[in-house]
Amino acid sequence: MLVSFENVTARVEGAARSAQSEADAAAARRAAVAVIEKESQQNTGLRSDVVTLYSGGEYWLYRYKRYTDIRVVFAPEEQMAFFGGDYDNFTYPRHDLDIAFLRVYENGRPAHTADYLRWSKSGPSEGEFVLLSGHPGSTDRMLTLTQIKYQRDVGNALQRKVWETRRDGLGGYAKRGPEEARQAGETIRLLDNALKRLIGQQRGLENPRIFGAKEEEERVLRGKVAANPEWQRAYGDAWMKIDTVYQELPQKAARLAFSTLTPSRLGGFASTLVRYAEEIARPNEKRLDEFRDSRLESMRLSLLSSAPVYPAMEEAILAAWLEGARSTLGADDPFVRAALENQSAADVARTTIRTTRLTDPAARRALLDGAPEAIRQSADPLMALARRVEPVIRELRDWQDNWLRSAETSAGQRIAAARFAVYGKTLYPDATFTLRLGFGRAIGYEEDTTLVPWKTTLYGLYDRAEGFGEKPPYSLGERWKSRRDRLNLATPLDFVYTIDTIGGNSGSPLVNRNGELVGVNFDSNQQKLPNRYLYIDEAEGSRAVGVHSAAILEALTKIYDAQGLVGELLRR
């Protein structure tokens, strides 16, 4: 829970002012960030993260209160939460009850929160003003044209290959049987979702009108800078800096993408432990970001999680990933040579996964809590694999941090300063998974030659299920079939609105002007996907999709007999 935030730009940039090179400046900024985060955590007891905004134009310290005891209260059947499956994903009209209720505990008891959102029984009406509070993941609207062209021509295709390699490996495993399909299903669904979103974003970049808007945006900004001699001296060559470092990136991109073990959860555990043994011996301000003192608690929670590990699935994932690395990078690539040692990917995966002890959280804890030397000398075959590939990964990361990202940060800061000089703060920064408030209206849109309504209803849910003969993914849960007559079928189910959202906003509450919760965000339509790179205006049909608060109450009361939960929501 975000508790406070403050601008620490002057302190971070002050630390880098006397640096003799961009790499030194980047190191100085990282050190200053580490010190700020540690001081804040020690002084307040709150998780403290320094967040970069405006591509390095500003640095803000965010403080959070952490809750780690979270328990499920209610979740619907998958058929209802994901009705229509991947076919309906990123489309509209939609008919999903994509919600869940969790309860936060503190000291073994339900947390008491004095402030909360009141529940709206009626929900929003057409055209109504709505607010959204959430944590949008990432956007790339402030990238330069050179950076966007890289995404269009190289980066997105490579990312697609990475996700398809992982998905196809899991898909092969899922075909072995129903239990294997269950184990792999969630990750496959997440990867399919990511791929569909990526394809939509790529289509946006390939659209001449959309890409032309980005070209015009940069042309106008650079023209205004060039017309002012003072601005030109201060900021004029920043774009050229980006151009220079990006000349090398296409040659290294595939190595950066495939030189990792993290597609395997167990491989990620091993790499984290190996890296931890090296980083913990360094001063806090010289460590990699994820091993700063302020982040160690999160690292430990992830590493020591008791969530189940499925060794057979891990073996399939690792084998597919290493084979994908070999076919992409070639047998002579340093990472491939270190990982495979002239063996097949299947043999390496079989040997390491079937004999590793990292499936046991106690074994991971023993390594983490022991001396770093125990990690360095561990005979566990998966740890040995992680140690073999770590020098290659470290070399690539050093290039990325000290050359690519340091130049991006330095040039990005100056381009941000140029934007501030020209436009002030009329443009909001790219999303960073930090708290944002958005606003818009609940309205439908035109698509081609037809009108799309602002809401769907429970009538539409049953019509769509019957239209497909209730074949998956349009099948209904048994409760929904047997209790249909209980429902008011005119109840709104899902609805669309013009708020600027992106991945990460799922689960965000929608609130009306009275501070009442009127819905829960869960998706967007196809027209909205290119908004990673620029805001798609509501006139273009760009819409986010949410579950209507009235449908949630109708389902909880008449389908799930959850009157106790409804009473809590309505404060009875």
Q: Give me the DSSP letters along 19-62.
A: -SSHHHHHHHHHHHHHHHHHHHHHHH-SEEEEEEEGGGTEEEEE
Q: 516-524 and 118-119 as β-strands: parallel, antiparallel, unpaired? A: parallel
Q: At what angle do helices 311-329 and 249-258 cross, to 10 degrees?
A: 160
Question: Do 214 and 176 share a structural domain?
Answer: yes
Question: Do 565 and 436 share a structural domain?
Answer: yes
Query: What's residue 537's pLDDT?
Result: 85
In a domain, 425, yes or no: no
In a domain, 271, yes or no: yes
Q: Which residues pair with 371 in a beta bridge?
A: none
Question: Do 73 and 59 share a structural domain?
Answer: no
Question: Do 209 and 222 share a structural domain?
Answer: yes
Question: Do 396 and 278 share a structural domain?
Answer: yes
In a domain, 352, yes or no: yes
In a domain, 164, yes or no: yes
Question: Do 519 and 394 share a structural domain?
Answer: no
Residues with pLDDT less than 70, the chain: 572
H or E stretch covering 419: helix 406-423
Query: What's residue 572's pLDDT?
Result: 67
Residues with Cβ < 8 Å from 227, sequence gap 6 or more? none
In a domain, 268, yes or no: yes
Query: What's residue 571's pLDDT?
Result: 85
Q: Last residue of a domain, which of 66, 91, 117?
A: 66
Query: What's residue 81's pLDDT?
Result: 96
Nearest in space to 526 (alpha carbons), one of 294, 199, 251: 199
Cβ(453)–Cβ(443) under 8 Å? Answer: no
In a domain, 388, yes or no: yes
In a domain, 51, yes or no: yes
In a domain, 220, yes or no: yes
Question: Do 382 and 294 share a structural domain?
Answer: yes
Q: Whole-angstrom Cα distance, residue 159 to residue 496? A: 29
Q: How many structural domains compose the chain? A: 3
Q: Whole-angstrom Cα distance, residue 255 to residue 510? A: 42
271 burial level (CB within 10 Å; 0-12, 13-18, 19+):
buried
Tokens describing residue 442: 């609940």
H or E stretch covering 569: helix 563-569
Question: Do 317 and 185 share a structural domain?
Answer: yes
DSSP 428-495: PPPP-SS-EEEEEE---EEETTEEE-SEEEHHHHHHHHHHTTT-TTS---HHHHHTGGGS-TTSEEEE
Q: At 12, which amino acid appears? A: V
Q: In which domain, by residue range, is 129 found?
A: 69-139+430-569
Question: Do 394 and 284 share a structural domain?
Answer: yes
Q: Last residue of a domain, which of 420, 439, 455?
A: 420
Question: Do 55 and 133 share a structural domain?
Answer: no
At residue 426, what are phi and psi to the nearest 5 degrees?
-75, -15
Question: Do 238 and 200 share a structural domain?
Answer: yes
Domain with 469 in it: what CATH number? Answer: 2.40.10.10
Q: Last residue of a domain, which of 362, 397, 420?
A: 420
CA 190 to chain centre: 11
Question: Do 394 and 355 share a structural domain?
Answer: yes
- pTM to 2 decimal places: 0.92
Nearest in space to 407 (alpha carbons), one of 230, 249, 255, 256: 249
